């Protein structure tokens, strides 16, 4: 029997990491059944946002790189649409896998579905219910262009049902009769797999950068709502600088290039002051294995990232989220994520609570059994073989 051909689409940092779980399973137990073609849109292109993950996570280099680079939403999405159309037409895959909610996700899902190639959406059904977020528009449209939708959580599965997706649909599946499936989270697979590798391969990383276990707080900021609003950005950085100084604790910030650019522009004095003080450590983005070690050894995590807030849970760390809402609502209900927006009062309150109540926090398993990638590939074979 010929192999099932899938196009695995990546573009932004978290998608490369997510795709590694699928690539690893294809190279392993599914190697006789599935042929993988990797397409990189080129949305992220700096070595530390892209190539480093291919090297470190041992993913094959992409078969196609569309090299779209940065730009306004319309231009970036448009370029991907235009360039990926030819790739899909030439490769003629059995299905096209897209991840999450970036412009790469949307463009690939649209291009494939309009050519009548079935789309598989991994991380389907996530909703913030805030359509001013570019990601919310991208994920809704990707879901509604898909034939097979893999929800990582119960909430995501219910969100899909609320939008009219029916779990009782029967094969044969297509865009008008899609299949929804609750799988657990492939990032949980990855955190389990790479945490062990990180300890082996990078055991001296923390020491090398002068950090000790439990003696620092990890901070990441990159969402447009924070970077592109000078008032919010300044409020967040000023509050964090004050809290770090008052409590005498180091803040380690591997910042996305977008945030550095924005900080230098909106608050150059603050940027200079922060890079000058001993307690604030702004560093370049780190590799995934290094990130796992920072997450595992941090006292607490402060972030506006979707992926990082979830990883805080995998590594049993409390997390302050610098947004008004989150898609990972179970973490907020569980009391281990607090939504603080960019509000100095809320950030301070959450900080004090988490610093003083560590023993009250519990981190139950919300994200599956760590085998989501295999479950997904089995289901893909079942659906597209028949």
In the 3-class helix/strand/coil scheme, how is 41-80 assigned residue by residue? CCCCCCHHHCHHHHHHCCCCCCCEECCCCCCCHHHHHHHH
CB of 123 to ligand UDP, least distance (A): 10
Binding test (CB under 6 A) with ligand UD1, winner from 179, 222, 296, 338: 222
DSSP state of 358: G
By rule CB under 6 A, what string of x and - marks binding of each residue 202-241 to ligand UDP? ------------------x-x-------------------
14 touches ligand UDP (CB under 6 A): yes
Distance CA 176, CA 172 (A): 10
CB 87 → ligand UD1: shortest distance, Å?
19
Does 46 contact ligand UD1 by CB under 6 A? yes
Question: Considering only 60-68, 207-215, 252-260, 337-345, which stretch makes contact with ligand UD1 by CB under 6 A?
Answer: 252-260
- In 3D space, the residue among 330, 292, 329, 326 whose CA is nearest the CA of residue 312 turns out to be 292
Instruction: Determine if 308 is a binding residue for ligand UDP (CB under 6 A).
Output: yes
Cis peptide bond upstream of 172, omega within 30: yes
Distance CA 109, CA 142 (A): 6
Phi/psi at 148 (5° precision): -130, 120
Q: Which does 45 bind (CB under 5 to 8 A by kind): ligand UDP, ligand UD1, none?
A: ligand UD1
HSE-CB at 364 with a 13 A cutoff on CA atoms is 7
Q: Which is nearer to ligand UDP, 13 or 232 (CB)?
A: 13
- The verdict on 134 binding ligand UD1 (CB under 6 A) reads yes
Task: Characterize the bridge pairing of strands 64-65 and 119-122.
Answer: unpaired
> Quick one: what does residue 62 bind among ligand UD1, ligand UDP, none, with the CB cut-off 5 to 8 Å set by partner type?
none
Quote the least distance from Cβ 311 to ligand UDP, whole Å.
5
Percentage helix, strand, coil, to 5, in the chain?
Answer: 50, 15, 35
- Answer for which of 8, 20, 23, 103 binds ligand UD1 (CB under 6 A) is 103
Of the candidates 40, 222, 256, 313, the residue annotated as catalytic is 222
- Of 45-53, 170-178, 187-195, 349-357, which part binds ligand UD1 (CB under 6 A)? 45-53
Instruction: Select the binding partner of residue 291 from ligand UD1, ligand UDP, none (C-beta < 5 to 8 A, by kind).
Output: ligand UDP
Residue 43 binds: one of ligand UD1, ligand UDP, none (C-beta under 5 to 8 A by kind): ligand UD1
Footprint of ligand UDP on 247-306 (CB under 6 A): 254, 285-286, 288, 291, 305-306
What's the CA gap between 299 and 217, in Å, rounded? Answer: 5
**Residue 12 touches ligand UD1, criterion: CB under 6 A:** yes
Local structure of residue 177 (DSSP, 8 states) = B
Q: Which ranges of 92-133 would DSSP assign to H, the alpha helix?
A: 103-114
What is the CA angle 180-12-301, rounded to 5? 90
In the bound complex, what is the minimum distance in angstroms from residue 167's beta carbon to ligand UDP?
27
According to the binding rule CB under 6 A, does residue 106 interact with ligand UDP?
Answer: no
CB of 163 to ligand UD1, least distance (A): 20
Neighbours of 286 (CB within 10 A): 20
Applying CB under 6 A, the site for ligand UDP has a residue count of 15
Tell me if residue 222 is catalytic.
Answer: yes
How far apart, in Å, are the Cα atoms of 213 and each of 196, 204, 299? Answer: 17, 12, 8
CB 16 within 8 A of CB 105: no
Residue 172: CA count within 13 A, CB half-sphere: 5
> What are the residues binding ligand UD1 (CB under 6 A)?
12-14, 43-46, 49, 70, 101-103, 134-135, 222, 256-258, 261
Return the active site residues: 222
């Amino acid at each position: 029997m010929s192999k099932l051909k899938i196009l695995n689409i990546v573009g932004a940092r978290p998608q490369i990491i997510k795709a590694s779980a699928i690539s690893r399973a294809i190279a392993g137990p599914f190697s006789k059944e599935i042929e993988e073609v990797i397409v990189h849109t080129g949305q992220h292109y700096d070595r530390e946002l892209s190539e480093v993950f291919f090297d470190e996570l041992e993913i094959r280099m992409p078969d196609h790189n569309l090299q779209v680079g940065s730009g306004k939403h319309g231009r970036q999405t448009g370029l991907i649409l235009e360039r990926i159309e030819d790739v899909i037409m030439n490769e003629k895959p059995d299905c096209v896998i897209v991840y999450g909610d970036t412009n790469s996700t949307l463009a690939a899902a649209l291009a494939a579905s309009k050519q009548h190639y079935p789309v598989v959406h991994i991380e389907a059904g996530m909703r913030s219910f805030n359509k001013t977020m570019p990601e919310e528009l991208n994920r809704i449209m990707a879901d509604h262009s898909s034939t097979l939708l893999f929800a990582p959580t119960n909430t995501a599965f219910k969100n899909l049902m609320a939008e009219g997706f029916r779990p009782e649909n029967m094969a044969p599946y297509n865009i008008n009769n899609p299949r929804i499936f609750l799988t657990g989270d492939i990032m949980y697979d990855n955190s389990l797999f790479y945490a062990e590798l990180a300890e082996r391969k990078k055991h001296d990383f923390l020491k090398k950068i002068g950090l000790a276990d439990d003696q620092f707080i990890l901070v990441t900021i990159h969402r447009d709502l924070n970077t592109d609003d000078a008032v919010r950005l300044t409020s967040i950085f000023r509050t964090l600088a004050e809290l770090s100084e008052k409590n005498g604790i180091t803040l380690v910030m591997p910042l996305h290039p977008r945030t550095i650019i924005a900080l230098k522009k909106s608050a150059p004095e603050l940027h200079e002051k922060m890079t000058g003080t001993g307690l604030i450590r702004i560093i370049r983005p780190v590799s995934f294995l290094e990130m796992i070690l920072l997450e595992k050894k941090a006292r607490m995590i402060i972030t506006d990232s979707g992926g990082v807030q979830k990883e805080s849970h995998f590594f049993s760390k409390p997390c302050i989220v610098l947004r008004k809402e989150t898609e990972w609502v179970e973490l907020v209900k569980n009391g281990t994520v607090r939504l603080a927006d960019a509000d100095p009062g809320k950030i301070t309150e959450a900080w004090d609570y988490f610093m003083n109540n560590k023993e009250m926090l519990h981190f139950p398993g919300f994200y599956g059994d760590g085998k989501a990638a295999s479950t997904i590939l089995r289901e893909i074979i079942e659906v597209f073989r028949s």
